[in-house]
C-alpha cells in the first residue's frame, strides 16, 4: 500500500510527478513484457522443451492484444504437408 506521506511529498514538490509517472509506467511495462515473454506462443524462451510451440496454438483463441474480424480457416496445402511430414 502506498504511504500517505508519499502524496504529501508529491503535492509539495510537483516536479516529481513526471518522474513518478515515467518510473511507474516503466515498471508496469517491464512486468507486462516478462509475463508476455513467458506466456505467449510467438516468443520462444525454452527451445529444448518444445522446439516448435507454434504447432500447438489454439486457433480459436486470439493471440494478439487487439484482433478485428479474425476468421481462421486451415490452408489445405499446409494440412497436406503436415500430414505428409508425420
How many domains does the structure of the chain reveal?
1
pLDDT in tens, 60-83: 776 666 767 767 778 888 889 888
Are 41 and 47 in contact by the 8 Å Cβ rule? The answer is no
d(C-alpha 26, C-alpha 19), whole Å: 11
d(C-alpha 52, C-alpha 85), whole Å: 14
pLDDT in tens, 37-60: 777 666 666 667 766 767 777 777
d(C-alpha 57, C-alpha 54), whole Å: 5
pTM comes to 0.46
Q: Which domain holds residue 24?
A: 4-85
Residue with cell 497436406: 80
Amino acid at each position: 500500500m502506498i504511504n500517505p506521506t508519499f502524496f504529501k511529498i508529491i503535492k509539495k514538490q510537483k516536479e516529481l510527478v513526471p518522474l513518478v509517472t515515467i518510473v511507474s509506467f516503466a515498471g508496469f511495462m517491464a512486468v507486462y513484457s516478462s509475463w508476455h515473454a513467458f506466456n505467449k506462443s510467438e516468443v520462444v524462451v525454452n527451445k529444448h522443451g518444445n522446439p516448435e510451440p507454434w504447432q500447438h496454438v489454439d486457433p480459436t483463441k486470439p493471440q494478439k492484444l487487439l484482433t478485428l474480424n479474425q476468421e481462421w480457416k486451415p490452408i489445405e496445402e499446409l494440412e497436406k504437408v503436415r500430414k505428409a511430414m508425420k
